[in-house]
């Protein structure tokens, strides 16, 4: 790591530097140099002197800074004198630049400042042609033309270049930047900041310099170049309001602090537009507290408010320079600065230097403050954070040294002592009410000796307040006509010695003489406060609690007022001797002057004192964690396409442990930087999707679910996609307080891709009033791959894969993992078939061929015929799948096939059948290829029978069952009953075959052991006499189907039965009673339903085929039936939730009922009803 410097300025204007390879502060060689503040960059440091001039210190390097001056000598040929400098009136100047437009005679070149010297005299550039033969001349026909070293017969003009080098001689010293003559220079500057050498769109090689004048104007230094480090001139940048201080980052961030305490952000900064395009105003982070100081880095912003609280701006990026919100950070600081690698330096309220520990790219807010503990002078004593008493004495002596004297602000010295007889009580200028004085009432001071108690006057005397920055001079000036109550220092004594302090008198503030202007000198303000403190004298006792045992001299440790780490190359892992804390520091602490003094005492006292100090409570600060990466974004607008984007997940941790996260997507459109952001607490689902063979996933929010337009992102590899999915899912769960495996009441669902999704329900999900909207539901993914999944409220979850394999959940849902044991993960495989269809049309000449009509579907397509799919270009469902077979003709097709696998129909699209007739002019056959996926999940295989449907008996949460009935259908249509299933043995023991005379395709068991099933031809049956003692029942009862409809799936709840037919219509069975459980009739409820699930509370959820008004969305949306109740079992309306490829849903585990309000007592004397209270949903509740 190269050796770099940390720069700092003390209250006397002395400039110091601290090397990363050293251990001692080094003062500038120029002992007369007095700077107010500095700003450092790579290899250089700028400063503002007390004379308001700008100074530059270039770091010494092995390569000297040289600049080449050049001019061209131009001549024209004439028949008398040959080539001469007598040119035509239309020609260029005899001495000019390369363009010939500007005259540049040799005598017009001057050194820009005293920091330069000529290396030699002018000489001719001999690089053209042979040296000493052409004399450096280049010939051409006329001006301007192409010049060459060869002289020809028609060469009428010639030129040659003269060169002279100048060298920068002020490296390693502070050099004054000359004024811009004859241009108008800026007014005296009060703040400067350099940055911009790492523009985000291109790596720059030189910094930009910004300045603020005392009238609030913003200036930009032009012409800064590696060969011209001083720049060439100042350019004014218009601002909407007066600026007090600004900060420029190494990239394209620029923030400014206004006189009124608000903030300005410059947008549009780039290499092509270094001054930006516009300003955006932001409010101060503190409520009703103005900002005091601002510092920016590449993608971070730190702000200090007038109560010395430190704030961090989250979401800052070159695409979003304004950020998205403020985070409060522990520590009480006066000045902060962001250096290289986003490292943060600060001047504390005790005037000590501090460094922010743990600042990394992933955690830009860091974890805590540590002092900068470097040696000073010729001694080996480490400079600790200062006690308030030490700082007070040096302030009292500050006027004697008078190193920061300025002659242009005499009006700021304040009036003489007022003639009202208050000279016995020194009157100090108070700060603005929002600014806490050093050692204020909220900051305890070190313990006092009991043998020398302070007097009442000593306790009441306020401490002198010295501003740390010009950024809040407005408040100091505007509040001079107000009276303020000085704050008492809090003295820590032993509990038995605590005395009630006397009340502090209200000291009047005198009238200010002269005219106070907003650009008053901050150092004179400090000197005025120090003069007032000195005028009190030792006899008055006003500063009796601030005395020290030694005077202020040259060898005293500095009292810092400014720091700049822009040129200090350190990071969180750097091994720097003066950044190694030796005391018991916590990872997040709030440094007050007392705690800083306590830290220094720990270096000198014994272990017993350290333990006593360590018992003091420390404030817990907030922190910010960031994860960045590169993904591809499916653009939201047409024409839709993939766009390269950078993403960032920013998570903030509050002091109470709560977390809040924002996900940013940064992209560029027409060379304009833009971004899309999503609040993680608004994310409702993270679903993997398959788009164009990309590893893609969709991010749903409430608003995007309503608009049916998720945020789709794609990664380069499967690992990157899984990492981002896990990271975002964990953040979503943390924001909602969801931990551990799914609960017993969870809703389970699967997508058409096979992903398993879970929702943790609340009481409001099924509440009669104020029901939770479906688009607000948060779905999280469970590892695994299934086609359908079923559960109940006892914690049992079964699933069926696409290949018919039965799986049981082994993640102990509803139970906390045991100590040392995580969720059991097993290897899970699944096999599914991919289909493409070969289509043909008949013609009289050749019969069936692949030559169709122009209006026909593609001759190779999917089942719908809308998309062309050939055997060559059809990939597996996702990159996670791999082929395990070759393409083969499929014969198991609904409607049947002939011996070659063809299905026939009159035209596309109509119903296909397996035999050819005279009216069949088109045919198709299905080609099938199998693919396999292997992954790990909390699922245990249940061998050996392959299943097509599974169902668990729903029950209430308080139910106790030794064995849970589980019914299933095999791939051959046989009805099976699983024995021995219990919460302790979720996989059961064996299968019991239930006799049938025809194959079934759907089965469901509800309350009171009601078993309903549908055969493959659509007939409905009810299984009678099913009980715990007779789990298989006795016989089947045929139930008539709806008129002219064929049912395909049903679900039985507590007291209701719902079914879906082949035309996606939803039906309810009417007339169900305990004495007649078969019911009486079917009633149509709705259409647009593909799957239905009825829960133990008779709640109804479905998978809708589509969402109204969104015909382009992929079929499959979660839908909730509203208004379902005992008096209205079929419900009233639909609430559509997340959609786009959802396959199955199960709510049979959600038995969480909303708490009911207590019934009011009957009025006294009211007649009682002779009838007993009715039971909800009848009596068929035997669970």
pLDDT 10s digits, 151-209: 888 999 999 999 999 999 988 889 988 877 656 677 789 999 999 888 755 444 678 89
**Stretch 311-333: mean pLDDT, rounded?**
89
Residue 390 DSSP SS3: helix
Cα–Cα nearest to 1068, from 1054, 1085, 1055: 1085
Dist CA 284 CA 326 (whole Å): 9
Q: Which residue has the tokens 């400063």?
A: 47
In sequence order, what are the residues at sequence separation of 6 or more whose Cβ sits closer than 8 angstroms to the Cβ of residue 497? 450
Residue 1084 DSSP SS3: strand
Kindly report, residue by residue over 788-829, the tens digit of the pLDDT: 999 998 889 999 999 999 999 987 644 444 434 456 788 999
For residue 561, what pLDDT is reported? 94
DSSP string, 990-1050: EEEEEP-SS-EEEEEE-GGG-EEEEETTS-EEEEES--SSSTT-SEEEEEPPPTT--EEEE
Phi, psi angle pair for 580, to nearest 5°: -105, 105
Mark residue 590 as left, alpha or beta (left: phi above 0; alpha: psi -120 to 50; beta: remaining).
Answer: beta
Query: Residue 867's CB: how many other CB atoms inside 10 A?
Result: 11
For residue 265, what pLDDT is reported? 95
Helix residue spans in 36-98 (DSSP H): none
**Stretch 216-236: mean pLDDT, rounded?**
87
Q: 607-614 and 593-602 are packed helices; what angle lies between their axes, rounded to 10 degrees? A: 160
pLDDT tier for residue 784 given thresholds of 50, 70 and 90: very high
For the cut 60, the answer to whether the pLDDT of residue 78 exceeds it is yes
**Stretch 1044-1055: mean pLDDT, rounded?**
93
Contact (CB, 8 A) for 959 and 793: yes
Kindly report, residue by residue over 532-556, the tens digit of the pLDDT: 444 444 433 333 333 333 333 445 6
Q: Distance of CA 965 to CAs 733, 796, 989, 1000, 1029, Å?
A: 33, 11, 12, 18, 11
Dist CA 777 CA 392 (whole Å): 60
pLDDT tier for residue 693 given thresholds of 50, 70 and 90: low
Residue with more model confidence, 559 or 692? 559
For residue 260, what pLDDT is reported? 93
Contact (CB, 8 A) for 757 and 780: yes
Kindly report, residue by residue over 453-492, the tens digit of the pLDDT: 444 334 444 434 444 444 433 443 344 344 333 433 333 3
Q: 388-401 and 593-602 are packed helices; what angle lies between their axes, rounded to 10 degrees? A: 100
Tokens encoding 239:
């601002």
For residue 517, what pLDDT is reported? 36
Q: Of 132-146, 344-358, 976-990, 1081-1095, which gets the smallest average pLDDT?
A: 132-146
For residue 380, what pLDDT is reported? 55
Contact (CB, 8 A) for 931 and 830: no
Bridge partner list, 1104: 1089, 1117
The number of angstroms, rounded, from the C-alpha of 950 to the middle of its chain's C-alpha atoms is 43
For residue 382, what pLDDT is reported? 61
For the cut 90, the answer to whether the pLDDT of residue 611 exceeds it is no
DSSP string, 648-717: EEEEEE-TTS-EEEEEEEEEEETTEEEEEEEEGGGEEEEEEEEETTEEEEEEEEHHHHHHT--EEEEESS
Contact (CB, 8 A) for 43 and 65: no
For the cut 80, the answer to whether the pLDDT of residue 9 exceeds it is yes
Dist CA 239 CA 260 (whole Å): 14
Tokens encoding 401:
């040294």
Contact (CB, 8 A) for 1135 and 1124: no
């Amino acid at each position: 790591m190269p050796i770099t410097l940390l720069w700092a300025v003390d209250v006397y204007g002395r400039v110091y530097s601290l090397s990363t390879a050293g251990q001692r502060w080094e003062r500038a060689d120029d002992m007369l140099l007095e700077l107010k503040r500095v700003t450092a960059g790579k290899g250089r440091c700028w400063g503002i002197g007390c004379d308001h001039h700008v100074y530059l210190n270039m770091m010494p390097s092995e390569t000297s800074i040289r600049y080449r001056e050049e001019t061209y000598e131009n001549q024209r040929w004439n028949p008398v004198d040959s080539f001469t400098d007598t040119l035509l009136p239309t020609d260029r100047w005899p001495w000019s630049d390369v363009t010939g437009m500007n005259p540049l005679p040799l005598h017009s070149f001057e050194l820009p400042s005293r920091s330069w010297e000529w290396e030699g005299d002018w000489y001719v550039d001999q690089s053209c042609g042979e040296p000493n033969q052409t004399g450096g001349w280049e010939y051409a026909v006329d001006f301007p033309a192409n010049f060459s070293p060869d002289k020809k017969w028609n060469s009428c003009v010639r030129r040659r270049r003269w060169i002279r080098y100048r060298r920068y001689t002020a490296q390693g010293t502070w050099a004054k930047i000359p004024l811009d003559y004859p241009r108008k220079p800026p007014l005296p500057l009060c703040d400067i900041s350099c940055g911009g050498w790492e523009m985000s769109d291109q790596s720059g090689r030189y910094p930009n310099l910004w300045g603020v004048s005392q009238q609030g104007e913003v200036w930009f230094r032009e012409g800064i170049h590696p060969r011209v480090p001083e720049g060439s001139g100042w350019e004014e940048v218009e601002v909407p309001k007066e600026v007090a201080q600004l900060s420029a980052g190494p990239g394209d961030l620029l923030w400014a602090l206004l006189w009124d305490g608000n903030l300005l952000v410059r947008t549009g900064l780039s290499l092509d537009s270094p001054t930006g395009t516009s300003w955006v105003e932001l409010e101060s982070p503190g409520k009703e507290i103005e900002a005091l100081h601002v510092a920016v880095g590449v993608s971070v912003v730190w702000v200090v408010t007038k109560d010395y609280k430190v704030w961090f701006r989250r979401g800052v990026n070159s695409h979003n320079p304004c950020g998205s919100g403020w985070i409060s950070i522990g520590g009480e600081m006066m000045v902060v600065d962001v250096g290289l690698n986003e490292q943060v330096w600060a001047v504390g309220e005790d005037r000590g230097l501090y460094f922010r520990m743990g600042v990394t790219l992933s955690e830009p807010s860091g974890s805590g403050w540590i002092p900068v503990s470097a040696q000073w002078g010729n001694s080996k004593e480490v400079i600790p954070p200062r006690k308030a008493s030490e700082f007070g004495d040096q302030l009292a002596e500050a006027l004697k040294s008078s190193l920061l004297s300025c002659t242009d602000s005499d009006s700021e010295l304040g009036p003489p002592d007022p003639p009202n007889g208050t000279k016995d009580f020194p009157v100090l200028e108070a700060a603005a009410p929002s600014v806490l004085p050093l050692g204020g009432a909220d900051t305890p001071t070190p313990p006092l000796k009991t043998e020398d108690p302070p007097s009442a006057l000593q306790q009441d005397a306020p401490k002198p307040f010295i501003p740390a920055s010009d950024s809040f001079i407005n408040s100091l000036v505007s509040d001079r006509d107000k009276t303020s109550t000085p704050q008492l220092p809090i003295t820590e004594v032993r509990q038995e010695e605590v005395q009630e302090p006397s009340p502090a008198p209200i000291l009047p503030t005198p009238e200010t003489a002269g005219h106070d202007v907003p650009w008053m000198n901050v150092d004179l303000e400090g000197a005025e406060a120090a003069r007032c403190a000195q005028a009190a004298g030792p006899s008055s006792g006003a500063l009796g609690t601030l005395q020290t045992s030694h005077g202020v001299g040259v060898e005293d440790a500095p009292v810092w007022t400014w720091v700049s780490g822009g040129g200090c190359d350190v990071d969180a892992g750097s091994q720097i001797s003066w950044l190694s804390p030796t005391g018991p520091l916590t990872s997040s602490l709030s440094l007050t002057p007392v705690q800083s003094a306590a830290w220094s005492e720990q270096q000198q006292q014994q272990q017993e004192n350290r333990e006593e100090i360590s018992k003091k409570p420390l404030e817990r600060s907030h922190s910010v964690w960031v994860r960045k990466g590169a993904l591809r974004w499916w653009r939201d607008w047409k024409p839709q396409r993939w766009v390269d984007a950078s993403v960032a997940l920013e998570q903030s941790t509050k002091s109470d442990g709560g977390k809040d996260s924002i996900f940013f997507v940064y992209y560029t459109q027409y060379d304009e930087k833009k971004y899309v952001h999503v609040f993680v607490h608004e994310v409702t689902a993270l679903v993997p999707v398959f788009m164009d063979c990309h590893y893609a996933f969709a991010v749903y929010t409430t608003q995007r679910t309503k608009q049916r337009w998720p945020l789709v992102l794609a990664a380069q590899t499967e690992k990157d996609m899984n990492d981002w999915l896990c990271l975002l899912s964990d953040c979503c769960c943390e924001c909602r307080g969801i931990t551990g495996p799914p609960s017993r009441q969870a809703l389970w669902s699967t997508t058409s891709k096979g992903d398993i999704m879970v929702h943790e329900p609340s009481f409001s999900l099924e509440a009669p009033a104020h029901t939770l909207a479906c688009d607000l539901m948060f779905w999280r993914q469970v590892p695994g791959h299934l086609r359908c999944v079923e559960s109940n409220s006892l914690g049992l979850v079964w699933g069926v894969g696409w290949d018919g394999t039965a799986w049981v959940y082994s993640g102990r849902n509803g139970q906390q993992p045991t100590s040392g044991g995580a969720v059991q993960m097993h290897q899970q495989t699944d096999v599914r078939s991919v289909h493409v269809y070969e289509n043909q049309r008949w013609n009289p000449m050749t019969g069936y061929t692949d030559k169709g009509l122009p209006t026909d579907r593609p001759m190779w397509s999917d089942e719908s015929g809308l998309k062309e799919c050939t055997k060559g270009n059809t990939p597996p469902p996702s990159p996670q799948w791999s082929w395990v077979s070759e393409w083969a003709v499929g014969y198991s097709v609904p409607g049947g096939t002939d011996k070659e696998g063809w299905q026939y129909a009159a035209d596309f699209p109509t119903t296909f059948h397996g035999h050819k007739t005279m009216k069949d002019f088109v045919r198709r056959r299905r080609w099938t290829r199998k693919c396999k996926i292997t992954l790990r999940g909390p699922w245990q295989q249940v061998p050996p029978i392959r299943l097509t449907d599974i169902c668990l008996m729903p029950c209430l949460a308080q139910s106790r069952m030794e064995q849970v009935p589980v019914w299933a259908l095999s791939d051959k249509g046989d009805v099976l009953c699983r024995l021995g299933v219990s919460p302790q043995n979720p996989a059961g023991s064996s299968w019991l075959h239930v006799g049938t005379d025809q194959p079934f395709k759907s089965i469901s068991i509800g309350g009171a052991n009601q078993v309903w099933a549908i055969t493959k031809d659509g007939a409905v049956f009810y299984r009678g006499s099913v009980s715990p003692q007779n789990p298989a029942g006795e016989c089947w009862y045929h139930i008539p189907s709806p008129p002219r409809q064929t049912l395909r799936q049903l679900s039985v709840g507590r007291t209701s039965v719902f079914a879906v037919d082949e035309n996606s219509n939803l039906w309810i069975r009417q007339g169900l009673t305990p004495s007649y459980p078969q019911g009486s009739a079917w009633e149509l409820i709705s259409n647009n339903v593909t799957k239905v699930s009825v829960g133990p509370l008779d709640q109804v959820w479905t998978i809708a085929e589509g969402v109204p008004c969104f015909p382009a969305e992929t079929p499959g949306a979660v839908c909730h039936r509203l208004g379902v109740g005992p008096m209205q079992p079929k419900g009233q309306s639909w609430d559509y939730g997340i959609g786009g490829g959802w396959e199955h849903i199960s709510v049979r585990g959600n038995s969480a009922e909303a708490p009911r309000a207590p019934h009011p007592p009957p009025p006294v004397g009211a007649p009682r009803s002779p009838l007993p209270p009715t039971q909800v949903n009848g009596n068929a509740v035997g669970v």
